[in-house]
Structure formats: structure tokens, C-alpha cells
Structure 1
Amino acid sequence: MFWRMAGLSTASPVETILDKENFTLEELLDEDEIIQECKALNGRLINFLRERAQVEQLIRFIVEEALEDAEKRRTFKFPFIACEIFTCEVDIILKTLVEDEELMNLLFSFLEPEQPHSTLLAGYFSKVVICLLLRKTVPFMRYIQANQDIVKKLVELIGITSIMEVLIRLIGADEHMYTNYMEAMQWIEDTDVLEMIVDKFSSSDSPEVHANAAETLCAITRFAPPGLAAKISSPSFIGRLFRHALEDARPKSVLVNSLSVCISLLDPKRLTLGVYHHTYNRQITQGPPVTANPETVEGMLESLGDLLKLLEVSSAENELLTTYGKLQPPLGKHRLKIVEFISVLVTVGSEAAEKELIRLGAVQRILDLFFEYPYNNFLHHHIENILVSCLESKNVPLIEHLLHECNLVGRILEAENNYKLAADLNKPTVPCEGRLPPRIGNIGHLTRISNKLIQLGNNSAKIQAYLQENSEWTDWHTNVLSKRNAVENVFQWACGRPTALQDRNRDSDDDDYQDRDYDVAALANNLSQAFRYGIYSNDDIDEAHGSLERDDEQ
């Protein structure tokens, strides 16, 4: 090769070390070019590293913590280089490891309870195990099947994200795994791994454990083999999940993360698409409705009443000061998650779910939250989705319940007529003292809901008749809503504002862009100039950071 020709390159430092009579593994690991030489399949180097003694020492660097007084290279460099050697995927080195049971036992000794399990070494351990799983699937799975206690140990350490990733891949809950190795993993379906994971909600108080357990279960709902998928969607498993979620003494993170699993069971794609994409995509393209196993839905309905009771209670009874006033108490993450769960449940189109929501008065209570917390846009998006789903439902009693018992139109008109935040100390959201009360922050959502009502009224005689009977609605529609829609029609603007996502309902052809008078690059440049020349002060930036830190409370 060109760089090996005499006179054109110097000898590799790795070759210099290999030329010595008595060199050590540590000398090689301390050389920066060792990874490059591994990837270049340097024969002399590979033959040395493939020896059992060297593989064992590499594993020890990864699974054993260095002593407190050890050199920095032993603490940081050697474990990193050892991990990189394995992940170079040199077949003969991986073969030495995976075919030696004692070496595999040494590797998985990292999972023993008495080990410190540092985040750094956990990451290296995870990379090596996943590399073996991908490149030596059959012998690796054979070893795991013969040592099934490894699965239990992985679950015990699920709070470490690197360990969680190993568990997800091991049980087949990864879209890139096991397309050709279904037989090698069939045994995992007969284990009680799902029960072990869900019981972490009860056995641990750590929010990290709860979040990672939920992420693992969500991954199973998306990509797991049929056996595990059937088990996790069964009513008995749903009941077990809700029992943990609704325990009074458990942290609210259990409820929040349990509901994430339920949401993923109802709509497996939701967690990968994100909240906003899901909401807008559904409203614009009118894609196929979400479908879910009826037995799964019925299993969730058994606990729906107890779940809705939690909407009356906030996890934070304290006051939270904001730029517009104070929250007393804040909405709380768990109540927001309950509303999100209802939002997905409604989109399933289950008649049983709709009847239960009517019976329990769920929509009415959720509508109350919409007006009690007029600045929580996360809440507003979910509730708008609920209202639109109810209005689009084929279940006439649900539509009538929303229009009559919930008085949707009346509440819209009341908010529009009293668009300033009320200074009522008995309400959760109170304006600042000594300042003019601000405009409520959900007018935009009310506008979209109103337009949706009118749109559906054109295709529904019942909705049309209901709207026409209300003279106040007719006047407001003519004198306020129609003019607002004309002002907010961005296709008529010439001030440089790009269109919003929900307004992009035309083809992106040349004529469409020629009609617009904005320059995105210029807008971005203007914004950067504003920050550069101090138009926005550091106080503004600090305030933004502070608001992020309080997201959990709101």
C-alpha cells in the first residue's frame, strides 16, 4: 500500500512495540494508533490480541473498577481502548470471547450486585455486549439461554440507561434486530421478563428506573416478537400495570410512566413521532384512525374511574410564580399525562371507551382544565385533540354530550367575551397583583376548535342546527371569527412570516412560493443580529432557562 512504501512513511508505533522481545498489553493500549491498526487488520497485532490471556485482560479493564490510586490511563484510557478493540468487530477476537464460557462469565460478572456499576464502565459493557449480540447472535443467545439469571440481573439494573439498551435488544424489542434469528430468541417469550420489568414500578422509588422501565415496555409494544406483544397487551398485564400506577404511596413518576406504556399500547407510533407531529398530522392529512386491541382498551377502562379522580388533585400543593401571575397549584406532570392518555384513548374510536367517558363526565372535567390553566399549551394541544376527536366521532351521543352537557359553544363564547385573566383567588391561575391582567393564552386553540365546529357543521345537520339556534354564536361568527380568520390567513400576508405547519395545505409548487414575500434566510440573519447586538438581554435568556427548569412543575 502507498503509505507502507519505504521512504514515503514512517513505521507505525504499534509495529515498533510489536518488534520488541518483551512487550505488554498495556504498552499497546497506551499507543494512540492501536485502534487504527485494528481496523486495518494488522496481522501481528490481531494475532496477539486474539490470545485468551489478552482477551481476558481487555475484559477486566471493562468490568473491573480501577483502584483509587491507579493511574489515569488505567482508569479512563485503558477501558476505552479495550472497548474500542472489541467494537472494531474483528471476528477472530469476538470468537475467542463468545466461545469461551469463562470469559463470558467474566464479562457478565459486571452485573453482580456487589459491583459498583459506574456509568462509564456500564457504557463500555453495553457496547461490547451489543456488539456480540449483533455479530455473534447464535452462540451469544445460546449462552444467555443457558444462563437466564442474566435477564433478571439486567432488569435489576434497568435504571442505568446503557443496561436498559442491552435489555431492549436482548428481548427483541429493536426494529433492527433478529430478522434472521427468530429461532434463537424464541425462549425469551417463555420467561417472566415482562412481569419483572413492570414490577420495578413497585420495587423502586427511582424516577430513572421508572422512566427506563417504561421505555423498555414501550419498545416491546413497537417491535417485540408476537409472544411478548400478546402478553403485554393482555387485560391481566394492563391490570397489573394500573395497580402499580394507582398505589397511593407510590411516586407520581410511576403513574406518569405507566401511562406512557398505555399510550404506546394504544398508538405504538406516537412516542416516535412526538406530540405535535401527531396532533397536526392527524388534523391536516386525516390519516387512518388509530386502531387498538379491543381487549386492551377494555382492560384500561376498568381503571379509568380511579384515574380520572386524580384530575382533581395536583401533586404540587405549593404556589408557582410565573411571568403572568401564579399557579395555585400548578397543573402537574401526572395530570397532564392523564389528559394525554384520554386524548389517545378517544382517537381509538372505541364505542365502549366513549360510553365510559360520557358516564364518568371525563370530557367535562378536562374542558374545565382547559380554562383553569389558560397558559399551558401542552394541555391545550391534548384537549383540542380530544374535542376534535369527539366532534368527528360517529357516536352521536358523544357529540350531543359535548354540545349540550359540556356546553362547548357556550364556554367558547364566554372565554371570548372575557378574554382577560380573571383575578379570582379561588381559581388555579391568578394574575400578578398591581398589573393589568393579561389576555388568556388559549384563544388560538379556541379559534381552531371553532373553525372545526363550523367545518363539521357543513357535513352534519345536527351540529349545523345547534349552531344556527344560538344567535350569540351567529353574531360572534360573523363579526369576530370571520374577521379573525381573514387577518390570520398567512397566504394574504406580505410581512415576511413563514406559514405555520397547519396552514400548508397547498402543493409546494413554484406559483405557491412566488406569491409569498418573505426570505427565510434574511429572517434567520435578522434574529442572529438581534442577539449579537444585544437587542435581547442576558436577563431574557436567563429567564428562558429558568422557565425550562420549572417545566416539570407546570
Structure 2
Amino acid sequence: MEEEDVLQECKAQNRKLLFWKFDLNNTSHIDQLLDREGVTLRELMEEEDVLQECKAQNRKLLLFLSKDHCMLELVTLITEEPPSDLEEKTRFKFPNIACELLTSDVALINDKLGGDESLLEKLYHFLEQEPPLNPLLASFFSKTIGNLIARKTDQVISFLRKKHNFISLVLNHIDASAMMDLLLRLISCVEPAPLRMEVLNWLNEERLIQRLTELMHTGRDEERQSNASQTLCDIIRLSRDQANQLSEVTEPDPLLAVLESQENVAELLKNMFEGERTEASVVNGTQVLLTLLESRRSGLEGLMDLYSQGCERSYTVNSSILRAIEPHLKDFQQLLLNPPMRSAILTTVGVLEQPLGSARLHVARLVASLLQTCDLSICQEICRLNTMDLLLDLFFKYTWNNFLHLQVELCVASILNHSAHADLQNPGLQNHEERPLFQHCQLVQRILDAWEENDKIQAEGGRRRGNMGHLTRIANTVVQNLEKGLAHSQMNDLIKELPEDCRGRWESFVGDTLRETNRRNTVDLVSTHNLHSSSEDDDMESPFPNDLSIQQAFSDYQIQQMTANFVDQFGFNDEEFSEHDENINAAFDRIAEINFNIDANSAAFEACCKERIQQFDDCEEEEDIWDEKEINYATQIKARSRYSTWMIYSSWTASFGETEVSSSSSWGGPPQQGGEGPQDTSWTSFTEFQPFIV
């Protein structure tokens, strides 16, 4: 045979070998086991692909698993403790496999498990054990029952409703998070809508919400308190989401109605403050209140609403919630003054003898949420208690706690915006929130004193304080409301009432210090580092035209958002990482809206293509993927160069909102006029571009 024929034959054999290597038609070893008499369930579960075969609807395997003795053994495995003398790493091997088989969403197994009451009784018996449950077995049980609730809804709901102690048993084991998941599945996984409403009414008749609220009492176990709090929060969110999505349901959610009732909120607050006030009871109870008060997207987007719309877009919180909270504002005030004791902690900036603590942080979050509701009675009570004065004290005391700084900033923004709207709606009514903020709280003086003290610390070689970014935004908020806010005339009157020396310091601060800080923050963030090419033109200018600055793409507010997050020593706030993860990129949303439309100068572009890019030859022999080739880096460099040529000889247009800016035909040079070609034909290497650094 010719040498070329031998090579082709070898390639053909290689293809055959690869085909048989990946052939999936081999007989399963499980089928061989099932053909053998006396095979046991444990032998099948030892096979690595048993779950895969089950989900692949292996008929032999499914018929075997659905036998009465096999189903009973599977249920036993997930509800009874395995022998304690087994090795820990293998002790729960079979219970885990059993759970996966039972929840593999195979109709034959679902029908068998959901339709056999003896198996359901065996499952239910797991709840009748004394607490605490094995957390792993509890998760297997919850997952199995949850799957049946979704797949065999009628049978399972009918079975559970006959068990009068079902809710009591679940709540008895609420310290296991799996029981919390089971309750949420009952609320969210039942379809169709009429059946779901039946389940909600049943749970309401069982007084589920009231019993969960009772678990929030200060004397309860902390794990039970925490899980009960999380369950209530999830029920609130699920109920509201489903009410918005299911437009055909006209009947109100009974669980949500109880949760938002004044009686239940009052009972929750009573449980929080009755007896010894522990940090756990305050935090867990306040989390439920915050969820009830959720009115808009939290974090940066919520702050943007405050800056731009004020109270115009506020969600109308059920007034019964606010009326229940109002009498207890004095109790939250006492928590700011005398929080639950905490031990000193070691931080990266030294020992903190008296930490702020979660209790006071949650009180700050609650005050910020209450102010955002723009409820006049609530705002007046907060003003009467001088709560803002205490929060500002904490703001300047705990200079490294950015979680707290954000809440105080939200409070200030809420007061200024609420005051503006109140003044417009009641021109004859003197405002009762804004005046104390400037007079009793001495906001302007505090800003000036803190700024000067920070400058002194830095001048002596110290570290910039961690609250300066948020302090900058608070100062900018005041200035914006003074200049163009809805109540700027009233605010200017308050500034005029300040002592003469303070007014002079403020005017100098706004005109020089704050203006320079804003300019420096903006420029440093976007203009310090330019892109550089690796071409021979080392002195080439920035690839963007000189008159184009990134700040054109951002509103002043967005730059302030970016500035504070970076300047505050990378101290992230908890709102930005709460249940909605996408908030972290909220400040950069406008970047994604920039549309780049690349439109080649036709004459220059076509000339370049003809010179640099080879045309495809349709008659060229198809490349054989089996050929072994030596890697030729020159080819890759040439391909990259073609792409670089296209980029260099192309003109591009960037749209920033209403502004449209065109680049030059060659990177960094002036825009070409008419149809003239570029003068600079140097190559650009994209591999050595420096990244933007902010």
C-alpha cells in the first residue's frame, strides 16, 4: 500500500476505536443484577449508577424499587437512625441514596409512595419522635414529603389534614431548619390556586402565624427564635409575591392578613420586650418588622429613590403595622441607650471595648425603614424622642461600621425628602423634622467638626476615617436640598439661623473642600489610568478623544454612589448583600446601557480588507480534524493583527444617554473628515492593554 493509503487507514481505525469507546449501548450491570434471583435492595444501592438508571426510567429497576418491601425499606432508611457502630463516613450512605431514589421524580415511585397510606404513616411517625431530630434525617424527610406535596398534592394534603397534631409536631421540631422548609413548601408548592387557598385556610385555622409569633418570646431557645423569625419573613415575601403573580386570585391571603394585623404585630413586640431583652429576641423580632415594612428595593436602588423621588414612589405600608409599632418606639430608643451587653472584640483597627452590636444596628435599620414610610405620626414620634441625635452619635463614634453609616445616611435623606413634601402639601405647617436635624442634632456643625478632625488625623500621618465616604454623601445631600430641593427656601432659612462663625465655615466648606473632594473622587475613579497600546508610538494619546470623560456617562448621583463604596475603605454595607445579590452592581447599570455602534469608513475599511484579509476558497479541501499539526504561533499573530487592523481603521460611536461621541479613525488621533483614510497604520496589540483600575 502507498504511504498515504496507510495513513488514511490508520485514521479510519482511530475513528472506529473512538466510536466504540464512547458507545452507550452496553448492557447495564444493574440489569444483570436484576436478572439474578435473590438480588437485594442493598446490592443495587451499592451500584454507582443506580440513581442515573432510576432517572433514566429503567423499567426493570423501577418495577423492583416499587415492590412493597423495597419501598418500606427505602422509607425506613430515611426515618430511622442507622446503627451507631458504622463508620461515620458510610453511616448515612444508604439513607442518602434512599432519599435520592424516593425524590427522583419518577411517576411510578411517586404513585406508590403517595398512594400507600401505610408508607405515609411510616413517614409521619418520624415527626412523633422527641426532639431534637437528627438534622440529616430531618432533611431527608422534609425533601421526601416536599416532593410528594408538589407531585401528589391531593393525596398528601388529605392525609396531613387528618392529622390534627401535624402543625404542633412540626413546630415542636422548628429548631431543625428542615421543618421550616416543610412549612414553606406547604405554602408555595400547592397548585392549582383553589387548592392552595384551601391549604392556606387550613394553616390559618391551625393558628400557624400566631404560634410562630409565640416562639419569638425572649424566653425561648435562640435556635427556635431564629427559625421562627426566618419562617415568618419567608411567608411574608412568598405571600406578597404570589399575590402579585396570581392575578386570578381575588381572595386575600389569610396568613398575610394575620401577619399584617395590628394585633399580631403588637403581640410580636410584646414577646420581644417582655422579660429580659436579649440580643437574639431583638434581632429576630426586628427582622420580621423590617420584612413587613419592605417598601422598595433595598441598598443602592432604595437610596436612589430617596434622592430622586422622595416619598412619591413609596409603597403604602399597612397602617395597622405602623400603629402597632408606634407605642414601642421608646423601647427601641432604650436599646440604643442601653443595648444588651457584648464582650470586647479584636478588630483590624484595634480592640473595640463596646461593640455596636446587632441589636443597635437592627434598631437603626428599623428607624430608617419607618422614616421611609413618610408616616407623619411615626416621624413626629421619632423626632420627639431625639432618635436621630442618638444615631448621629453612633455614626461618629463607630467610624468603621459601614453597616451603620448607610442606615444613618438613609435616615437623613428620608427626613430631608419627607420634609420637602410635607412643606409642599401643608405650606402653613411648620416642619417638625428638618428643624431639629439642623438645630438640636447640629448636623452642619457635626459634619464640619468631623471633617476637620479627619484632616488633622491625616495630616499627622493617621488613617482616613472609615465613615468619610458616607459623610461626603450626607453633605452632598444637604447641599443639593439647599440649592434645588423642594424645600430649599426653608432649609436656607435654617442655615441662616446658625451662628455666624458656623455659617462662614459651612460656606467655605461647600465652596472649597466639598467641591474639591467631589472633583477628586470623580477624577480619581475614572481618569487616573489610561489604556496604553504596545505599538511603536509610545507617545500615543489615550484611545478616547480628549474631550470625552467617563463622567459624562454617569449622573452626579451615581458617581457619589461609586465614590462612597470605594472610599469607605471597601466597607460594604449589609443592605447591598441582603436577599437581592444583584444590588452590588447597581451603580454600574448605566455602563451597560452604553451602545457602541461600529461603522467602518467604507473606503478605508474595504481597502484594508483587500490588503490584509485573504478570501475563503470554497474549493479548498476541507481540513481533516484528525491531522496532527504543529502549532504555528505566527498564524495566530497574523489573525490577531487582522483584527487589530479592523479596529484601527474603524470609526465608532458611543451613545451616553443623550450624548453621542465619535472616535477617531485611528486610535487616539483626531477624527478623520469626509472619506479620507487614516494616516497612522501602526499595529495595535491588545494583549498589553492596561485594565481600568477604580
TM value normalised by structure 2: 0.67
1:477 corresponds to which residue? 510
Query: Following the alignment from structure 1 to structure 2, what is the Cα–Cα distance between the partners of residues 72 and 318?
Result: 37
Range with greater deviation from structure 2 (378-387 or 499-508): 499-508
Query: Following the alignment from structure 1 to structure 2, what is the Cα–Cα distance between the partners of residues 176 and 221?
Result: 17
1:466 corresponds to which residue? 494
2:66 corresponds to which residue? 50
CA contact (8 A) 1:319 1:326 kept: yes
CA contact (8 A) 1:279 1:381 kept: no
Query: Following the alignment from structure 2 to structure 1, what is the Cα–Cα distance between the partners of residues 171 and 517?
Result: 55
Query: Following the alignment from structure 1 to structure 2, what is the Cα–Cα distance between the partners of residues 100 and 521?
Result: 68
Which of 495, 504, 507 is the aligned partner of 2:528?
A: 495
What displacement does 1:277 show?
5.3
Which of 28, 47, 59 is the aligned partner of 2:44?
A: 28
Please tell me the residue identity of whatever aligns with 1:508: I
1:202 is paired with a residue of what secondary structure? coil
2:332 is paired with a residue of what secondary structure? helix
Q: How does 1:367-516 map to 2 (within 5 A)?
A: 367-393=392-418, 394-395=421-422, 396-419=431-454, 438-457=463-482, 458-459=484-485, 460=487, 461-467=489-495, 470-490=503-523, 493-496=526-529, 500=562, 502=587, 507-510=593-596, 511=654
Q: Structure 1 residues 101 and 371 mapped into 2: Cα distance closer, same or farther (>3 Å)?
A: same
Compute the RMSD of aligned alpha carbons: 3.3
1:143 is paired with a residue of what secondary structure? helix
Please tell me the residue identity of whatever aligns with 2:146: I
What displacement does 1:336 show?
0.5
Please tell me the residue identity of whatever aligns with 1:234: S
What displacement does 1:203 show?
7.6
CA contact (8 A) 1:61 1:78 kept: yes
Please tell me the residue identity of whatever aligns with 1:406: C
Q: How does 1:135-534 map to 2 (within 5 A)?
A: 135-170=151-186, 172=187, 174=188, 179=193, 181-185=195-199, 186-202=201-217, 205-224=220-239, 226-267=253-294, 275=299, 278-279=302-303, 283=307, 288-393=313-418, 394-395=421-422, 396-419=431-454, 438-457=463-482, 458-459=484-485, 460=487, 461-467=489-495, 470-490=503-523, 493-496=526-529, 500=562, 502=587, 507-510=593-596, 511=654
2:336 is paired with a residue of what secondary structure? helix
CA contact (8 A) 1:59 1:82 kept: yes
What displacement does 1:126 show?
1.5
Q: Deviations over 1:415-466 (max 9, x none)?
A: 11222699xxxxxxxx9xxx96544321211111111112122132111333
Please tell me the residue identity of whatever aligns with 1:258: G
Q: Structure 1 residues 407 and 439 mapped into 2: Cα distance closer, same or farther (>3 Å)?
A: same
5+ residue gaps, structure 1, are 423-430, 528-554
1:126 corresponds to which residue? 142
CA contact (8 A) 2:170 2:179 kept: yes
Q: Deviations over 1:149-204 (max 9, x none)?
A: 1221111222222221111222x1x4886646324413112111112212222386
CA contact (8 A) 1:467 1:473 kept: no
Range with greater deviation from structure 2 (399-408 or 181-190): 181-190
2:348 is paired with a residue of what secondary structure? coil
Query: Following the alignment from structure 1 to structure 2, what is the Cα–Cα distance between the partners of residues 361 and 521?
Result: 58
Query: Following the alignment from structure 2 to structure 1, what is the Cα–Cα distance between the partners of residues 343 and 132?
Result: 38
Identical counterparts, % of pairs: 28
Query: Following the alignment from structure 2 to structure 1, what is the Cα–Cα distance between the partners of residues 399 and 504?
Result: 26
Q: Structure 1 residues 177 and 524 mapped into 2: Cα distance closer, same or farther (>3 Å)?
A: farther
Q: Structure 1 residues 212 and 485 mapped into 2: Cα distance closer, same or farther (>3 Å)?
A: same
Range with greater deviation from structure 2 (276-285 or 50-59): 276-285
Which of 78, 86, 91 is the aligned partner of 2:102?
A: 86
What displacement does 1:406 show?
1.6
What displacement does 1:43 show?
1.7
What displacement does 1:50 show?
1.5
2:576 corresponds to which residue? none
Q: Structure 1 residues 339 and 176 mapped into 2: Cα distance closer, same or farther (>3 Å)?
A: farther
Q: Structure 1 residues 325 and 84 mapped into 2: Cα distance closer, same or farther (>3 Å)?
A: closer
Query: Following the alignment from structure 1 to structure 2, what is the Cα–Cα distance between the partners of residues 13 and 115?
Result: 42
Residue-pair matches, total: 506
Query: Following the alignment from structure 1 to structure 2, what is the Cα–Cα distance between the partners of residues 312 and 521?
Result: 57
What displacement does 1:208 show?
2.8
1:60 corresponds to which residue? 76
1:316 is paired with a residue of what secondary structure? coil
Bigger Rg, which one: 2
What displacement does 1:250 show?
5.0
What displacement does 1:25 show?
1.4
CA contact (8 A) 1:99 1:139 kept: yes
Q: Structure 1 residues 522 and 383 mapped into 2: Cα distance closer, same or farther (>3 Å)?
A: farther
Q: Deviations over 1:122-160 (max 9, x none)?
A: 221121111111111121111111113122111122222
Q: Deviations over 1:80-100 (max 9, x none)?
A: 111111111112222222222
Q: Deviations over 1:452-484 (max 9, x none)?
A: 112122132111333366232111111211111
1:236 is paired with a residue of what secondary structure? helix
2:439 is paired with a residue of what secondary structure? helix
Query: Following the alignment from structure 1 to structure 2, what is the Cα–Cα distance between the partners of residues 486 and 420?
Result: 17
Please tell me the residue identity of whatever aligns with 1:356: E
CA contact (8 A) 1:388 1:452 kept: yes
Range with greater deviation from structure 2 (502-511 or 456-465): 502-511
Query: Following the alignment from structure 1 to structure 2, what is the Cα–Cα distance between the partners of residues 18 and 334?
Result: 61
Range with greater deviation from structure 2 (9-18 or 383-392): 9-18
Query: Following the alignment from structure 2 to structure 1, what is the Cα–Cα distance between the partners of residues 176 and 24?
Result: 48
Q: Structure 1 residues 114 and 320 mapped into 2: Cα distance closer, same or farther (>3 Å)?
A: closer
2:269 is paired with a residue of what secondary structure? helix
What displacement does 1:206 show?
3.7
TM value normalised by structure 1: 0.83
Query: Following the alignment from structure 2 to structure 1, what is the Cα–Cα distance between the partners of residues 94 and 373?
Result: 53
What displacement does 1:32 show?
1.6
Q: Structure 1 residues 260 and 178 mapped into 2: Cα distance closer, same or farther (>3 Å)?
A: farther
2:92 is paired with a residue of what secondary structure? helix
1:65 is paired with a residue of what secondary structure? coil
CA contact (8 A) 2:142 2:179 kept: yes
Query: Following the alignment from structure 1 to structure 2, what is the Cα–Cα distance between the partners of residues 247 and 147?
Result: 34
2:454 is paired with a residue of what secondary structure? coil
What displacement does 1:520 show?
13
Q: Structure 1 residues 399 and 281 mapped into 2: Cα distance closer, same or farther (>3 Å)?
A: closer
1:489 is paired with a residue of what secondary structure? helix
What displacement does 1:16 show?
1.0
1:11 aligns with 2:27: yes
